[in-house]
Structure formats: structure tokens, C-alpha cells
Structure 1
Amino acid sequence: MPEFRYGPVEFYLVGFEGERPDRATLDALVALLEKGAVRLLDFVLISRSESGETSIVEVEDDPDTLELGGYAPDASGLAGDADIAEFAELVPLGGSAALVVLELAFQRELASHLAAAGGVVLATERVPAPVVNAVLDTLEHENEGE
């Protein structure tokens, strides 16, 4: 069976107040890292001034910026300049966000098993959690009326 070093990765742009994520936001990430549910590949802080000027801090360039429970990105630089520029456009003027690149642990194993079996993932689609929950709430409400 092929052993992949990395599985599929996901980019998350997480907005927050101020120039740095709060402790609760970082603790949520650290909890997932501790469980082995995700692997942190890259972490970039993006801030935009009211005039639209963008400021970028790559965590590996400034390790004292964030306390991630001793975790450091495993693939710093994976979020390239083009990725960062694209996501920076989504940060509101006067706002800040963290661009977090994560590998979901099960996806690497799934990719290895599928490749060994000759399977090829032809497409994936993510449905955001708020949408899934709203649809299921609606369905449950409709089923209660039957």
C-alpha cells in the first residue's frame, strides 16, 4: 500500500478581533493537535489596515507570536504568496485573520487505502457546518409535522 507523507490539506481563514487570535481560538486548535485529529502544516497571520494595506506574519519567522502548545507548522511555506494574497482579500479592512493550513489525519490514511485498492477520488465537496446543521434542523422540523 502506498504510504503518503501528506493527505489532502485544507486552508482555513479564521477571522478575529485585534492583531492576534485570542487564547480560546488557539486552545481550540491545540486541542485538535493534541488529539491527533489534525496536523498543522502552515500558519500565517494576515492583517489589513483601514486603507487596505496588508501585513503578513509567518509564524515560523516569529515563533514568539503565538503559543501553540509546543506545536510548530510541519510544512511552513505551503501557503504560498499567491494563496496568501487571495485569502488576504477576504480579510475585512481594519481586520485580522489567521490562515491555517491543516491536514485532517484520517484523510491521509483514506487516500493511502484508496490508492492501494486502485480507487481514485474524482471529486470532493465541502458543505460548511452551519449549512449542514440548518438543513438537518429544517428536515427534522418537517418530519415532526408528519
Structure 2
Amino acid sequence: MSAARFGPVDFYLLGLPGQTLDPAAFSALTDITDTGLVRLLDLIVISKSDDGELTLVEVEELPNGFEINVEMLGASGLLGHEDITELAEAIPAGASALLVALELVYQRELAARTAESGAVLLGYERIPAPVVNALMDTIIPKLEV
């Protein structure tokens, strides 16, 4: 079996409250990467001023107190200008967001073995967790305790 260097990669744009950076927003990333299920490839903080101007903060520019550093990134620079500009459209004026690229490490072997078999991925769709949970709440009512 050929060794795949990377599994699938997802980009996530996580809205942050206001324009201030809170280290707690980053701790969820460090906690999940510590499990080995995902690998943090790239990260950038995007702030949008009230007039729509973007300010970017790279990992090496984060203030002290954040648990993430550039050595933790598996592919720093993966998030390109086009990705940042396109995804930043969803950030409201006067707000900030964390844009991360996460490798789905747990899918690396599946992707490699699928490709080795000659199969090709014909389609893919992800349903965001809030949508799944809202749907399941309507299908399976919560038990009253």
C-alpha cells in the first residue's frame, strides 16, 4: 500500500466574539489535535473592520498566552490569499474569525486504500454539526429528566 502523506483537509471559519482574541478559542484546537484525529496544518486570525477592511494575524504574530505556535503547523502557508478573501466574506463587519486548515488524519488510510483499489471519489457532502443536531432534535425528542 502506498503511504499517503495527507488525509482530506477541511477549512473551518470560526467566528469569534468581537475583535479581541481569547486564548480559550484556541484551546479546542489544541485539545483535538492532541488526540491525533486531526492535524492542524495552518491557521490565521481575520478581523474585519466596520468599513470592511481585513486585518490578518499569522500564528507567529499571536500575543503571548496562546497555546499555538508555528512549529505546530503541518503546512504553514496552505491557506492562500484567495481562500482567505473568499471565506472572509462571511465575517460580519466589526468581528473576527479564526480560519484553520485541519487534516482529517483518521481518513488518511481510507483515502490511500481507496485510491490504491482504483476507486475514485465521485461525490462528497458534509452536513454541519449544528444542522445535524437540530434535525435530530426534531426526529428524536430529548428525554425529560
TM-score of the aligned structures, taking structure 1 as reference length:
0.86
Q: What is the percent sequence identity of the aligned residues? A: 49
Partner of 2:105: 105
Aligned to 2:135: 135
- Structure 1 equivalent of residue 125 of structure 2: 125
Pairing of 1:1-146 with structure 2 (within 5 A) = 1-60=1-60, 62=61, 64=63, 66-68=66-68, 72-141=72-141
* 1:42-95 per-position Cα deviation (integer Å, ceiling 9, x unaligned): 0011001111111012214x2556322786211111111100111111111000
Tell me the secondary structure at the aligned position of residue 119 of structure 1.
coil
Q: Secondary structure at the match of 1:96?
A: strand
Which runs of no fewer than 5 residues in structure 2 stay unpaired? none
TM-score, normalised to structure 2, is 0.87
**8 Å CA contact 1:41, 1:75 repeated in 2:** yes
CA distance in 2, matches of 1:64, 1:6: 30
RMSD: 2.1
Amino acid at match of 2:131: V
Contact 1:21 1:98 in 2 (8 A): no
Residue pair 2:19, 2:94 contacting (<8 A) in 1 also: no
